[in-house]
Amino acid sequence: MSVLIATPCYDGQVCSEYLHSLLKATITVDFELALITGVHFIDTARDIAAAKLLDSKHEYLMFIDSDLGWNGDAINQLISHNKDIVGGAYRIKHDTELYPVDYRANETQDGLLRANSLPGGFLCIHRRVIERMASAYPSYQFVVKDAFKRIPALFSRALLDDRMVSEDIMFCKRASAAGFDLWLDPTITFGHIGSKAFIGNFATYLEGQQ
């Protein structure tokens, strides 16, 4: 098992919490790190990461945003669920505790919640998902390392119902249409770093809502 960790970061910078968490992951995770730099659009950066996975022999694509810190062995924790698509939920950068996830409260499996959409910032995708979707959806040319390369349009934003839908939600919609289930592990604690560290654990949050 090997993992391509992909982190879109236009200026090549990551927060110290990300670096601290990633250094811990080097002990237990066999991974290659791909910093997607110099790309203005987050959907294009994620499409480039998908193309990098296809050009590699890695089994998993793991998106981790540059402004996140995570607890424990969270990467292996997601992989251990043996799901095609599984992710964690982190707080938005607001004093009100909110999480950008659309889940089905009545559909659970082994501690996971079935989801309609997941945030792209801590998202684990099996290779077979990218392979099947890349063959089913259009691709486009983009300059990668000073050369044109065709990349699959899996995360491209779209205008739906008079609203521009973000790249992570559009990926989830496309993946669901391709027959893949989405799962959320609510037990991972994250720090989402902005003007301060917005610390949150979705499972604990749900317990407080009961």
Phi/psi for 209 (5° steps) reads: -85, -10
The fraction of the chain above a pLDDT of 90, given in percent, is 90
pLDDT in tens, 48-84: 999 999 999 999 999 999 999 999 899 999 999 999 9
pLDDT in tens, 125-156: 999 999 999 999 999 888 777 678 889 999 99
Q: What does each C-alpha distance from 168 to 6, 20, 122, 151 come to in angstroms?
A: 14, 25, 11, 17
pLDDT in tens, 77-93: 999 999 999 999 999 99
Domain ranges of the chain: 3-209
pLDDT at 1 over 80: no
Q: Which amino acid is at 173?
A: K
Q: Which amino acid is at 206?
A: L
> For the residues 3-29, what does the mean pLDDT come to?
96
Q: Which residue has the tokens 């990349």?
A: 151
- What is the side-by-side order of every strand in the sheet holding 182-185? 31-36, 3-8, 60-64, 122-126, 85-88, 182-185, 112-117, 102-109
pLDDT at 209 over 90: no
Average pLDDT, the chain: 95
Q: How many residues are recorded in the chain? A: 210
Question: Which listed CATH number (3.90.550.40, 3.40.190.80, 3.40.630.10, 3.30.420.40) goes with 3-209?
Answer: 3.90.550.40
172 vs 157: CA distance, rounded Å: 11
**What's the pLDDT score for residue 97?**
97
Phi/psi for 95 (5° steps) reads: -65, -30
> For the residues 150-171, what does the mean pLDDT come to?
94
